[in-house]
Amino acid sequence: MNTPERERTYGFEVFPKRDVTIVAGEGATLWDENGKAYIDCTAGVGVASVGHANPQVASAIGEQSQRLITCPGVFYNDTRARLLEKLVSIAPKGLKRAFLCNSGSESIEAAIKFARHSTGRHNFVCAMRGFHGRTIGALSATHQYRAAFEPLLQGFTFVPFNNIDKLHNAVSGETAAVMLELVQGEGGIRIAHEEYIAAVRDLCDRRGVLLIVDEVQTGFCRTGRMFACEHFQLTPDILCVAKAMAGGIPMGAVLCGDAVKPAVGMHGSTFGGNPLACAAALAAIDFMVERDLADQAIHKGAHFADTFGKSRFGRVRELRHLGLMIGIELKSKAKPYLLELMERGVLALVAGPTVIRLLPPLVISLEQLDAVVDTLGEVLSG
């Protein structure tokens, strides 16, 4: 059996697979089993911001793995302590503590529990087109992919994104928190308006409602700031992060301000905060800071938009981007173009039916970005 046959036979097939077997990577390049190179504009769905096979992350994992891989939360651990301190030092001011977990969905699950526990209320207001994950709590906060799994958690309502009046009407005395992305990722790369976010913060403050910001996809330099909150001068009460945090090792975190008080027994996780993931995260964050990946995302995002914008490809309705979080809205379905791009050596994602989403490693070179624009031109200019 070859690799695809083996995965199809023994795997639990829930992904719409593409017919390629990826075996190696370096920076923004991936190779398949036949040695064909691809420019990777997926980055493991926004994970590999520091590049594939990042040497600093690899050596941190190697060193930590020979010293201590696992250590439950009931004991203190030196590597975990250093990561917690580092996370708080780079987070928006006012976020003072972090709970460590293993994925984006888990960070949302924890945020839901923390918000209920801290407010004594049960309801959440979330955004249409929002995406927060696939586990039952996270899916309850998500506007799509729900139908087959109803009934989900009670008390979640949805309002149009960027519409403060609708949010105002939806918040009640039973609302524990408002939960939002600042750039809706899966929902089509839709960027929050500055005045909307300021009004949301104000509304939450006035009504004693917590604001949960989901930066699982936007966090760790993707949008041109360490966290997208910085574009909005925003401090949420709870900030959820994951994806790029540990350079590809599974990890998530929930950063909390004073409104959320920890209590023993409130939550837990066997793997959350394990020293191996913490060492990877420390190395990945150091790399982001040393190389100023936030600044690179700004400049490379602007370079891409500039080059792409000059070309005026016929099938494109609109380009939206913040840093290197890029959405190309088409006049027709996006999926068929993914295959054409792959055949020409570019790996990309979709975000909703008509949007091609590009989340390249932030270390991608300008030459590679130019090659991506050329390849997009070949498939989108008709």
CB of 136 to ligand PLP, least distance (A): 12
**Binding segment (CB under 6 A) for ligand PLP, from list 49-57, 69-77, 126-134, 164-172:** 126-134
Choosing from 25, 27, 137, 185, the residue that interacts with ligand PLP (CB under 6 A) is 185
Please give the single-letter amino acid code of residue 174.
E
**Binding segment (CB under 6 A) for ligand PLP, from list 66-74, 128-136, 223-231, 299-307:** 128-136
| Helix/strand/coil for 245 | helix
Choosing from 42, 105, 123, 375, the residue that interacts with ligand PLP (CB under 6 A) is 105
CB of 283 to ligand PLP, least distance (A): 20
Please give the single-letter amino acid code of residue 27.
G
Counting beta carbons within 10 angstroms of the beta carbon of residue 32, is it exposed (0 to 12), middle (13 to 18) or buried (19 or more)? middle
**Binding segment (CB under 6 A) for ligand PLP, from list 86-94, 131-139, 230-238, 328-336:** 131-139
Q: How many residues bind ligand PLP (CB under 6 A)?
A: 15
User: Contact 101/254 with Cβ under 8 angstroms?
Assistant: yes
**Binding segment (CB under 6 A) for ligand PLP, from list 12-20, 98-106, 314-322, 344-352:** 98-106
Residues of span 236-265 touching ligand PLP by CB under 6 A: 242
Instruction: Give the CB-side neighbour count of residue 129, counting CA atoms within 13 A.
Output: 19
Q: Where are the alpha helices (DSSP H) in the chain?
A: 3-10, 43-46, 55-67, 78-90, 104-119, 136-140, 164-170, 194-207, 275-290, 293-311, 335-343, 366-380
132 binds ligand PLP (CB under 6 A): yes
Q: Residue number with the shortest CB distance to ligand PLP?
A: 104
User: Contact 138/124 with Cβ under 8 angstroms?
Assistant: no
Choosing from 56, 64, 103, 296, the residue that interacts with ligand PLP (CB under 6 A) is 103
Rounded CA-CA distance 100/250 in Å is 11
CB of 43 to ligand PLP, least distance (A): 12
Alpha carbon separation from 139 to 144, 240, 251, 281 (Å, rounded): 8, 15, 19, 26
- In the complex, the residues that contact ligand PLP under the rule CB under 6 A are 45, 103-105, 108, 131-133, 181, 185-186, 214, 216-217, 242
